[in-house]
């Protein structure tokens, strides 16, 4: 860590003397006296990020046939979903029904 700090402390950046614009990044080792050369320039045609591009290129109501065009269709709300779990009472109802049938057959035989 100390070696990195000492190398950064001795680094000097000198501006380029040429006035010609360039679209490249270049770094030099220096001109012999220990000075380093560093040139960083912006891109000439930066790209838009995805959301900015989609906002810029989305369809807009510019034509006469678009004047009645509305946004997305709004639908009715869906009914409430059934519960994920519940009590199964079908076994209890079938046992009660079987008991009633058994009692009814016993009373008709007597």
pLDDT tens track for 44-68: 878 888 999 998 888 777 788 777 7
Q: Which helix (H) or strand (E) holds 14?
A: strand 13-14
Is 85 a member of any domain? no
Range of the structural domain that residue 31 is part of: 10-39
d(C-alpha 37, C-alpha 5), whole Å:
19
Which tokens go with 17? Answer: 């003397």
Strand order in the sheet with 26-28: 13-14, 36-39, 26-28
Q: How far apart are CA 69 and CA 66, in angstroms?
A: 5
Q: How far apart are CA 23 and CA 40, in angstroms?
A: 9
* 20-43 tens-digit pLDDT: 555 555 555 555 566 667 777 777
104 occurs within a structural domain: no
How many domains is the chain built from? 1
């Amino acid at each position: 860590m100390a070696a990195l700090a000492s190398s950064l402390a001795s680094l000097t950046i000198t501006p380029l003397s040429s006035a010609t614009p360039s679209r490249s990044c270049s770094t030099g080792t220096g001109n012999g006296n220990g000075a380093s050369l560093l040139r960083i320039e912006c891109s000439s045609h930066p790209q838009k990020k995805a959301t900015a591009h989609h906002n810029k290129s989305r369809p807009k109501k510019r034509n006469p046939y678009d004047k009645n065009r509305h946004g997305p269709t709004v639908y009715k709300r869906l009914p409430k979903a059934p519960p994920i779990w519940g009590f199964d009472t079908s076994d209890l109802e079938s046992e009660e029904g079987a008991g009633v049938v058994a009692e009814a057959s016993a009373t008709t035989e007597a």
